[in-house]
Structure 1
């Protein structure tokens, strides 16, 4: 469907739930046929894997019918297609979402029960796709869900990783990375087409040539190729007939096997090409602290972007669309800097392969691409050394040089400011020559957006300030959102039932309808039901962690949850210092254990394999947990849980159980966050700084329903400019000193004072993200948390108001903002 006219009105959304595509009898027939003819087994012979695959293939049948009809309809309408380019998609388990979108959950449960099969046991058999890391990938998954639900013609593009990010394990409390073997049994959700593989070139040389019009031209002659094999995943909308495509590319060698070398006895070299090629799609974000790792990352980025752009451009041109009209039929959304190499790739296709004039090609390219920046940290904005870039993609570097030359001439002409010219250059000169991908993205895109109101403002004021001053109309904001289908309807069925009874089912497609709950925040009967849902979810996660990790937790405590990527700016260390300070004060006799409101602190986080400080922080959290969880002085009133390998499957059980959502990054460092939205929508109260989307959550839910603490972004900037000395905060705050001294004493490391010396030293002399400066404010607000939690009615009222007032944070709304402000904006 043409995205320009594809929106879902509240009226259409109201109580529009999917109708089951099969009845129970037909479901049983298809299921048993799949066992027999796909798996080659009868029901008594079938293993759980057989049954799971038969279940998936049964559900896929109506989805494939809808998918094929969607493709035919979109081709006939020949409208605009949104192509979302992302290095990761953290999809989560697919089976439950597919059952929801097809309306088949109740039917499947009834049908399988007649065969003495438990649907939940089969669903639990699924291994979630290892295609993403954290917020960036989860956001991408939410967006493709919303695009389908809003009937937008869209396709997601990325890489089909063989091993994903990594599977996190703990050995003596330290993170150890293991391969994420999510594909060990294959996946029935994937539809692969090897016959449609595309050759993707690398390295080689660039030659002068003559084009078909007799004009001088340049031609890239790659030195080697890999095949990009398309692997399709179906993306069903909820309450709609639309099923879009997520097309992920798997790398395969162009020449997988050299028989001559094999027959000579050199078996290893006979398959070297295959090994080298498959490395490209093996692992998400390979460790890049080595030159080989950096090169592999750039290979990955070009590999999937080149395949994706060629795929969609070719299919669009085949429909009779002219080159000049491509921007009316395609928009590529760059999800952070990873896909930005797509800009010179499209230029290469148009100029070299399709022989367009440079100016015409550049005009088309700048209208097709849009760039979403997801960071405020300068080190997170990718730069590629020109020697690496030129060796791997020589023609693309030539194109970037020309783009930069023409752009800088324009800036020079318009401003006469040579310093500004150097600052805005796509090519960085110091400390080494490199391509600044964020600059290239900004120059080559029609629109640039941040992902929360504060982030977008800081993007304009700080990160890309020269560009926003030069092109003020190019910059806009689209605040992130999450899909209510997965993160309320699927993950919190008890709350969903309560919402359905209270306000109807329309909220699943129009989350603004949650505002109808607001009067019920003063209804004691509703608050009691809400409290029962939260208690149920706490019992559920306690059982899950006991079975999954052997972690025993009480269910009658504050569930205080901090789950996110382990990074210093997110300040897991601040949360840990709070916990240690409680324990230290009990040991010192300045706090009675009986005065601590029973609390379970749950961490979930992976550290990048090469990020030393993050990995040491994980080890410290686990060391503190080992001591505190068994400390008789605390009388069981304080517990830490750190389950390994936090993922979407666990998130779906943990988030609904949370009472308190920890969003405590240093103000001005978090772009948006989406975990903060998921927790609020499930009735957790936020303790947070004015950072990222916390700002908007605070505004919407009200100060009395949000635990605000810490410096603002201007405060933090002023402190940094004045010369931040963290040891001064340590010296003047007795509770902070007590906590850090306890860690330094070896209390959590069997008396080994050196075990966490680097963390203590960093706190006292560096503390780049100012955890010590915000410590006192954080302790004070945690006291208010405990005071409020003791008044259960007041707490539950605030929790209900958080649900009622955060419907804004739907990814459906985010997608509508993209349509209005970027993709279809005139």
Structure 2
């Protein structure tokens, strides 16, 4: 057990730093009103700020400045306004020793920040007017389009994290996000002969005005090595982690401005740096590559988001990435906590809340235990008590294969001491299971942190559940399935630990910012713009849903947005599409369970029907796809190629009179989604029931007036409850029916043999018709549907899906009814604001009060 002097020693450096900090703890806090460099309403002062940064930060004059320079200068002008608020916010938080949330996520899909920061700070109009100055040779849209999407995330998990940061700041909740400052994003997607080709996403190449390096807060962490089993001079076992490799983490802060408030939180991201930058002796002896080898290897840690883990080296890099960012972040949290002389380990849980966004940061549990046991010399019970009060865990998947597991061998090689601690946690857990279910080895197998099927591995989801005081799902159905199917043993063992927090989206980014035409119409109709931070106010649109004048205005907005997307489709895909067609949109990560291939089967069915009956009367459709497949996910990449190749064949077939067009937009990203979503008529949310945890694309599309066609899966269930049965197209099996069919023994051949149309289009895919001279091009897709057992029951749901599309066709012909349904989708999805979600987290999980600054 640690002595009192040991505790004093461990926090002494923090106290010393605090006493030297002029802003800590009693210095007056500067207010945004007095420190802001210019009035938010002053166009002239904003223009002066742009010119000042152009000249004195970028060293450019009016004649040599390029559009990229104007974007940087404009961003720096708004950044200085944000930073004055950020300094004020953090000063208040530090002075008052507030409880903070620390959000741990391996990805943040931030998109572009300039426009959203202009909206959130109230500077949008001032900036737009300032850039009209004749001395500025580029227009506002050109400047905004110079910004690259931040390559810090991949899919819904990362975009949810970005929405949460926005809501946390908007609601004045003290919070800091932690992650990795990736030099390269997932990848930049291109299509060659229809196939996905991955190129480096060099999003930082042109520089970014938003990241602020904080080298003074660097952290050194250790990996690898071995554990020495030693005893101290009192006979206590004190394992020592020795012969480790050191890595330095350099923090970079991205300010996160709240909307219509002075609060500015920040996202702290870590870049990796070698502890020994340069081997001068090796260099002088001619070993130029060897001289920088360690530097290159270490900096690989923060090089790329989600390295391919099909190789053992890729797996090791992923585990090191995860440990690197959480270890750096915990050290940073401790530094911040102990710099206040009033703080100690005793009040650590009352000041610190850490949310694990999925299992990627779960190794933080073992790391905090290691610090408390090995460095602070705490007894196990006290250390475990701190850990379980601090951590909470959000689960994002029901797919067993998506629940992270690390082989024991890999874990032992990278984090040997942490593996010992996990085994110790597991030993105590299994004793608890034995007490609850004596002699039940099955329960022990289910609960154990170590899986032993085909080699031992560490179950990170189990560790997260066991060590967290709260575990939440992200939709009502998802949470119910967590308790019933995925973790029923833990729900019994830890009653009350599981709760639901249905996901949400920020209305600032996903309506105000991305759909200014609709935002303007809503504001003029409701007589207020306060809906942007109180989305329930959109209910006021319900009284206008039956008014022909409002329906006309609403659909004119939609048509203008479709015209804008049509221009993008022409530029990126060389496909001409009509805004009068129904825009049928499926945009999300490419995965079998999301069933883009079910969409493809329906497209082929429509195509075949028209070929067999050229006079077939259908509403013209533009099928819009956007998706990336993981580099190592071969079947997903085959589905992408099938959509592209078959789509190109359909687009070129003059026999169908342009009734169907297929556009797969390359390099799907946030800024592209911001163009697609406002233009969508129909939102495809067609995952197999019980597989999608929640979805947030479904919320974004509905908010912007798209009708959903979907299964009763994830948040679709709650969207249906909100918008009404008549304003959504639900089809297919529900969760119970999927389970029953699987239990009975699902055989896709039964559906193939029983449905002539389905059999014909599957055979069509399996033939060489669309790829002459290239035998078996789509064999992986074809085999997955039949010989592979169709694991996501595409064939079982095909006929119901096709029938639902006929209802879509019928409703779209009735312009008034469609407009009414679209308006009611926008009006009734206020529940799905991330502000509501964050309020629930703050109240039920984090016990986090708002702090006005």
TM-score bin, normalised by smaller chain: over 0.9
Deviations 1:735-790 (A, max 9, x none): 21221122223221126442112321221221110000001001101011000000
Alpha carbons of structure 1 residues 213 and 789: separation in structure 2 relative to 1, 3 Å: farther
Displacement of 1:29 after TM fit?
1.6
1:652 aligns with 2:674: yes
Indicate conservation of the 8 Å contact 1:67/1:234, yes or no. Answer: yes
Match in the other structure for 1:14: none
Contact kept, 8 Å, 1:585 with 1:735, in 2: the verdict is no
1:258 aligns with 2:282: no
Residue 67 of structure 2 is aligned to residue 52 of structure 1: no
Q: What residue is the counterpart of 2:323 in the other structure?
A: 302
Q: Does 1:641 align with 2:641?
A: no
Contact 1:229 1:251 in 2 (8 A): yes
Structure 1 counterpart of 2:5: none
CA-to-partner distance for each residue in 1:391-433, whole Å, 9 max, x for gaps?
A: 1111111111111111111221232133212221111112111
Matched, 1:526 2:545: no
5 Å-filtered alignment, 1:5-20, equals none
1:87 Cα shift? 0.3
Measured after TM superposition, the shift of residue 209 of structure 1 is 4.8
Provide the C-alpha distance between the structure 2 equivalents of 1:212 and 1:437, rounded to a whole number of angstroms.
35
Q: Deviations over 1:422-473 (max 9, x none)?
A: 2211111121111100110011000000000000000000111110121121
1:507 and 1:389, CA in 2 relative to 1: closer, same or farther beyond 3 A? same
Provide the C-alpha distance between the structure 2 equivalents of 1:147 and 1:457, rounded to a whole number of angstroms: 26
Report what 1:228 is aligned to.
249
3-state SS, counterpart of residue 238 of structure 2: strand
Q: Give the distance between the partners of 1:646 and 1:577, measured in 2 at CA.
A: 22
Structure 2 distance, partners of 1:709, 1:824, is: 40
Q: Alignment partner for residue 384 of structure 1, among 406, 411, 419?
A: 406
Aligned residues of 2:573 and 2:664 also touching (Cα < 8 A):
no
Q: Aligned pair 1:81/2:103, yes or no?
A: no
SS of match in other structure, 1:773 = helix
Q: How does 1:534-573 map to 2 (within 5 A)?
A: 534-573=558-597
Q: State the 1:599 CA deviation.
A: 0.4
Q: Measured at CA, do residues 339 and 824 of structure 1 come closer, stay the same or move farther in structure 2, by a change above 3 Å? A: same
Task: Give the one of 286, 291, 298 matched to 2:312.
Answer: 291
The residue aligned with 2:418 is 396
In structure 2, the residue matched to 1:5 is: none
Q: 1:800 to 1:386 in 2, by over 3 A?
A: same
Match of 1:488 in 2: 511
1:579 aligns with 2:603: yes
Distance 1:778 1:37 in 2: 60
Is the CA contact (8 Å cut-off) linking 2:251 and 2:270 kept in structure 1? yes
Question: Taking structure 1 as reference, are residues 391 and 623 closer, same or farther at Cα in structure 2, changes over 3 Å only?
Answer: same
CA distance in 2, matches of 1:330, 1:453: 27
Q: Deviations over 1:114-153 (max 9, x none)?
A: 1233121111100110000000000000001000000000
Partners of 2:293 and 2:848 lie apart in 1 by 49
Verify the 8 A CA contact 2:610 2:616 in the aligned structure 1: no
Aligned-partner Cα distance in 2 for 1:662–1:596: 19
Q: Distance in 2 between matches of 1:222 and 1:474?
A: 39
Cα deviation, residue 548, structure 1: 3.7
Q: Residue 155 of structure 1 contacts residue 245 of structure 1 at CA under 8 Å; is this kept in 2?
A: yes
Distance 2:263 2:221 in 1: 31
Question: In 1, Cα distance between the equivalents of 2:414 and 2:77?
Answer: 45
Change (3 A) 1:401 1:799: same
2:541 corresponding residue in structure 1: 517
SS in structure 2 at match of 1:306: helix
Q: Distance in 2 between matches of 1:170 and 1:244?
A: 39
Q: Is there any run of 5+ residues in structure 1 with no aligned partner, and where?
A: 1-18
Please give the TM-score of this superposition, normalised by the length of structure 2: 0.93
Say if 2:812 is the partner of 1:793. no
Q: Which runs of 5+ in 2 are unaligned?
A: 1-37
Report 1:740-751 matches (<5 A): 740-750=762-772
Query: 1:229-628, aligned counterparts within 5 Å?
Result: 229-319=250-340, 320-416=342-438, 417-503=440-526, 504-587=528-611, 589=612, 591-628=613-650
Distance in 2 (CA, whole Å) between partners of 1:670 and 1:515 is 28
Query: 2: distance between equivalents of 1:569 and 1:634?
Result: 31
Q: Is the 8 A contact 2:109 2:153 kept in 1?
A: yes
Match of 1:136 in 2: 157
User: Which residues in structure 2 correspond to 1:9-158 (within 5 Å)?
Assistant: 21=40, 23-114=42-133, 115-116=135-136, 117-158=138-179
1:718 has 2:733 as partner: no
CA distance in 2, matches of 1:772, 1:215: 62
Counterpart Cα distance in 1 of 2:638 and 2:284: 49
Tell me the distance in 2 between the aligned counterparts of 1:676 and 1:171. Answer: 30
In 1, distance between residues paired with 2:486 and 2:151?
31
Q: CA deviation at 1:551?
A: 3.3
CA contact (8 A) 1:662 1:687 kept: yes
Alignment of structure 1 residues 168-179 onto 2, 5 Å: 168-179=189-200
Residues 214 and 491 of structure 1, relative CA distance in 2, 3 Å threshold? same
The CA deviation at 1:825 is: 8.8
Counterparts of 1:739 and 1:551 in 2: how far apart (Å)?
Answer: 24
Change (3 A) 1:79 1:212: farther
Distance 1:796 1:400 in 2: 56
Q: Secondary structure at the match of 1:256?
A: coil
Contact 1:584 1:738 in 2 (8 A): no
Query: 1:205 Cα shift?
Result: 1.8
- The one of 206, 213, 218 equivalent to 1:197 is 218
Q: Measure the CA separation in 2 of the matches of 1:22 and 1:796.
A: 37
SS across alignment from 2:796: coil
In 2 relative to 1, CA 371–109 (structure 1 residues): closer, same or farther, beyond 3 Å?
Answer: same
3-state DSSP of counterpart to 2:108: coil
How far apart are residue 160 of structure 1 and its match?
0.6
Task: Figure out how many residues of one structure are paired with residues of the other and give that number.
Answer: 806
Could you list the per-position Cα deviations for residues 44-71 of structure 1 after superposition, in whole angstroms to 9, with x for gaps in the alignment? 2212222111111111111000000000
Q: Paired residue for 1:16?
A: none
- TM-score for the superposition, normalised by structure 1: 0.96
* Counterpart residue number, 1:12: none
Whether the 8 Å CA contact 1:381–1:437 is kept in 2: the answer is yes
Match of 1:669 among 677, 691, 704: 691
C-alpha contact (below 8 Å) 1:553/1:600 kept by paired residues? yes
User: Bigger CA drift: 647-656 or 50-59?
Assistant: 50-59
Change (3 A) 1:751 1:711: farther
Worse-superposed segment, 76-85 or 480-489? 76-85
SS at match of 2:109: coil
Alpha-carbon distance in 2 for matches of 1:551, 1:466: 53
In structure 1, what is the Cα distance between the partners aligned to 2:794 and 2:634? 18
CA offset at residue 37 of structure 1? 0.9
CA deviation string 1:769-819 (max 9, x = no partner): 000000100110101100000001000100011111100000000001111
SS in 2 for 1:449: strand
Say yes or no: does 1:701 pair with 2:723.
yes
Contact 2:609–2:616 (8 Å) recurs in 1: no
Aligned counterparts of 1:211 and 1:27: Cα–Cα separation in 2: 64
Q: Report the equivalent of 2:24.
A: none
Aligned to 2:754: 732
Q: Distance in 1 between matches of 2:560 and 2:482?
A: 42
CA deviations over 1:669-693 (Å, ceiling 9, x no partner): 0000000000000000000000000
Q: Is 25-34 or 151-160 further displaced after alignment?
A: 25-34
